[in-house]
Chain A
């Protein structure tokens, strides 16, 4: 299976703080990769580097066979990204926002795609409301939809299911599992271990910018350890 993502000796510093420290690993096509770590461990910084939003101080990154440092815009054309903090622009309606993203991504058959997402995530009644008036959960749904509009082979999701109700969480978990079954790849970061244990095929654990572990969930299950106890021991003691 081909690697869709490779990073070597990736390092990012903000002044004296090393947010990501010499991290190297790769992700194969068709995986649902979960990057786990406590708050402030460097997960968001890593996703921003992998998608060309910020430049690393050291290291190289290849995404879909493209050098991210040289082709940040091309990378963002090809992948989908759901950022952790950004919300859709206040004064566009939900539908207008999807149309706006579709225009940027040069997608045709707009109406059909928009309808599909409004139905799937059950917020059709909100399609004509301004984004500033939407609840946090609905904005999160909209951000989810924008990332998948162009059916990308690889999607980066920063904290995917926070703010969403259990019904939508289930819908999205099923959607993500189905998405990877069609040969696509998902890279997501979270600190909600239950979600990672339920849907991830591979996990990486990051703490204080250092990669402590990488491996498959299957291997972990074979050792009869729960992800939570494994994670806590690793982050507290530095070893499982």
Chain B
């Protein structure tokens, strides 16, 4: 890795974001995250009657693994992740043809740069917010400080594992899918009869409670070996599978002609299918985190019997499913439609239809999860909770960020508004689900205000003027 390239890439990323959002609004984003986390930490004591501090730490470690998983799928996306995030901007990462540098080296720099960015944008502010709040909430600051270290290890573990899996996927998608299915089935079958303490599976959490040389060695190997293998085998250049494709737009449009805007929806499907990584995007950005959470909740539900795991799962899947919208908008820039008789609201509506179709997957997962967790009794409240959260947070995303969620949500003002609109609801839903899952049966009343917000969003974004000449 060349330090100059890394520095230049960091500068480039900074300028890219600040040119879209403004220096102040972007620069203060980590401060906002710090502030939110600091305030949120004051709510932790209220959970103590339901779950212990130790269980809270367990969840925190798991969430950090998940955070690493969400951003670690670079091995799969390769160059495309940059393309999708930044459009066709001329970036250093594209310059292997003009610079005497290999694509592998440029990509390694890009990867490290992104880790540094996520650290400063999210991870450090989250950890500091919690750490500074600890003296006020009755958590030992020294042990909280130690937890920050193990939480960071959790993040690196998630990152490293998914980086490795996504590199595997780039070489053989079939092998990876088979491997994941085998692991999933094994865990589900043997989770109830494990010959060891279940908590030791989350190694950084286990280190938090008892640090041993063996555990340190194990976590070091688990982080370094997959990451090193991924970098060694990383596939930056995807071979062209074929040059000619079957023209399927009209066929797909005809199959889904029950939807208005069928041709836009068909385009979304083709974008997703034909872009690099293909189905891998859905696997790594949606199915893998969902499956991981499912497994986590299945395994650990026995530790917290008062909490109905399916209810927590429904909240989680509601939030994650709303991120499908981000994925759908990442391929399209409205600039490609500006010269056609198309409004922004038409494109938003078409993305919502695609979103609804993709969410059939979430619905099926929820059914299977309720059966496998043996909590079918709570399926209806879980379903209502999932639908309401998914739809409400989606309507807020559309209102605040329109067709640019992956960029605009880094705007300090927009993100604060989004958090204020969605955060309290998630908190209330979580508490209500824990107290009595059947409270969630009244949650769909929020669908009406969500529809109203969507209607307002259409008007707002149709009047939006893009920047530039």
Contacts and interface: CB of A to CB of B under 8 A. Distances in A.
B267 interface: yes
B275 interface: yes
A76 B336 contact: no
B243 interface: yes
B465 A54 contact: yes
A44 B469 contact: yes
A104 B339 CA distance: 12
B340 interface: yes
A15 B246 CA distance: 47
Interface string B246-258: 1111100100000
Chain B contact residues (Cβ within 8 angstroms of A): what range? 20 to 34
A96 B246 CA distance: 9
Contacts of B253: 103
Nearest to A14: B469
A180 B250 CA distance: 33
Interface in A49-75: 51, 53-55, 73-74
Given A73-B343, A76-B341, A100 B465 contact: no
Interface string B355-368: 00000000000000
A16 B355 CA distance: 41
B247 A53 contact: no
Contacts of A76: 339-342
A133 B242 CA distance: 10
A44 B468 CA distance: 11
B274 A96 contact: no
A130 B276 CA distance: 13
A88 B270 CA distance: 14
A54 B466 contact: yes
A3 B417 CA distance: 48
B240 A83 contact: no
A101 interface: yes
Contacts of B332: 89
Interface string B261-291: 0010001001101110000000000000000
B2 to A, nearest CB: 29
Contact of B244 (A55, A91, A128): A128
Interface string A125-145: 001111001000000000000
A130 B247 contact: no
Contact of B247 (A73, A93, A101): A93
A19 B245 CA distance: 43
A86 B274 contact: no
Contacts of A88: 336
A92 interface: yes
Contacts, number: 90
Contacts of B102: none
A89 B338 contact: no
A128 B267 CA distance: 15
A178 interface: no
Contact of A128 (B245, B263, B340, B466): B245
A39 to B, nearest CB: 11
B331 interface: yes
A133 B332 CA distance: 17
B335 interface: yes
B391 to A, nearest CB: 27
Interface string B411-448: 00000000000000000000000000000000000000
Interface in B298-341: 331-332, 335-336, 338-341
A105 interface: yes
A83 B339 contact: yes
B271 A89 contact: yes
A99 B270 contact: no
A85 B89 CA distance: 12
Contacts of A91: 270-271, 273-275, 331
Given A99-B250, A133-B240, A51 B339 contact: yes
8 contacts: A51-B339, A81-B339, A81-B340, A83-B338, A91-B331, A92-B270, A99-B249, A128-B247
Given A86-B336, A104-B342, 16 more contacts: A14-B469, A48-B469, A54-B465, A73-B342, A83-B338, A86-B335, A89-B332, A89-B336, A90-B275, A92-B270, A93-B247, A95-B247, A96-B270, A99-B249, A101-B340, A133-B240
Interface of B: 88, 240, 243-250, 253, 263, 267, 270-271, 273-275, 331-332, 335-336, 338-343, 465-466, 468-469
